[in-house]
């Protein structure tokens, strides 16, 4: 859309200067090349093996799980040591990688636009498996509970991200109850659900 607008503006300017035919055919050529590249990329994805597609979806899920935990740690403005250790244990368990606490803290502190992440997650939700979506929710709740208090911002983020990837409030409540840990969080939907 943006490229088309830029091309139309450029075409208008060139036509006004008397170079209409050259500019027109140049723009048509650029447009045709962009179309061919787009079709090629789409075909390559459609024809790729099921194994490659599954690997792509698995990577999307894993990335979303880790990012969700980092954003949960950051969303209340405080990246607590216990949250960092929880993320470290989860990454070790999921990926077999032992990330240093300093790296986790640095990455969490870079997570400053949770609304943008939620929007991105909603766009790729179809590429995340149901089991990975459940792990996203569990990871967020465990990180939020690591400091024994689910802050209202953490709570809102957990539900907003869960809904964005297709997990309902009721499903979040069930997952929270399954985790069944002592809570000290008045007014937190996730903590209230977990304690019932």
Joined together, the tokens standing for residue 180 give 């069944």
Joined together, the tokens standing for residue 162 give 């869960």
* Mean pLDDT to the nearest integer, 102-108: 94
CB 140 within 8 A of CB 161: yes
Of the listed ranges 55-59, 88-92, 141-145, the one predicted with least confidence: 55-59
Residue 2 predicted with pLDDT over 60: no
- Nearest alpha carbon to residue 166 among 122, 136, 127: 122
Q: Is 132 exposed, middle or buried (0-12, 13-18, 19+ CB in 10 A)?
A: buried
Helices (H) and strands (E) in the chain, counts: 10, 0
Confidence of residue 149 (pLDDT cuts 50, 70, 90): confident
Q: In the block, which residue shows the tokens 């060139």? A: 14
- Residue 82 phi/psi, 5-degree rounding, is -70, -35
27-75 confidence digits (pLDDT tens): 667 776 887 887 777 777 666 666 766 666 677 778 889 999 999 999 9
Residue 1 predicted with pLDDT over 60: no
Per-residue 3-state assignment (H helix, E strand, C coil) for 57-90 = HHHHHHHHHHHHHHHHHHHCCCCCHHHHHHHHHH
Joined together, the tokens standing for residue 27 give 């723009």
Confidence of residue 96 (pLDDT cuts 50, 70, 90): confident
Highest mean pLDDT among 16-20, 69-73, 148-152, 191-195: 69-73
- Nearest alpha carbon to residue 144 among 66, 82, 65, 90: 82
Q: Residue 3 has what pLDDT?
A: 54
Residue 140 vs residue 150, higher pLDDT: 140
- Give CA 26 to chain center in angstroms: 38
């Amino acid at each position: 859309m943006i490229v088309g607008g830029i091309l139309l503006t450029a075409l208008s300017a060139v036509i006004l200067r008397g170079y209409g035919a050259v500019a027109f055919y140049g723009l048509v050529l650029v447009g045709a090349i962009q179309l061919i590249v787009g079709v090629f990329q789409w075909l390559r994805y459609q024809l790729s093996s099921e194994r490659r597609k599954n690997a792509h979806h698995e990577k999307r899920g894993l990335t979303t799980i880790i990012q969700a935990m980092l954003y949960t740690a950051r969303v209340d403005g405080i990246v607590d040591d216990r949250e960092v250790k929880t993320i470290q244990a989860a990454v070790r368990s999921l990926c077999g990688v032992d990330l240093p606490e300093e790296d986790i803290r640095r990455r969490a502190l870079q997570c400053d636009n949770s609304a943008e992440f939620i929007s991105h997650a909603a766009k790729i939700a179809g590429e995340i498996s149901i089991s990975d979506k459940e792990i996203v929710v569990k990871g967020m709740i465990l990180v939020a509970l690591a400091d024994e208090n689910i802050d209202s911002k953490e709570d809102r983020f957990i539900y907003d991200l869960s809904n964005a990837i297709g997990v309902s409030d009721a499903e979040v409540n069930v997952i929270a109850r399954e985790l069944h840990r002592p809570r000290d969080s008045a007014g937190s939907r996730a903590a209230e659900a977990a304690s019932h």
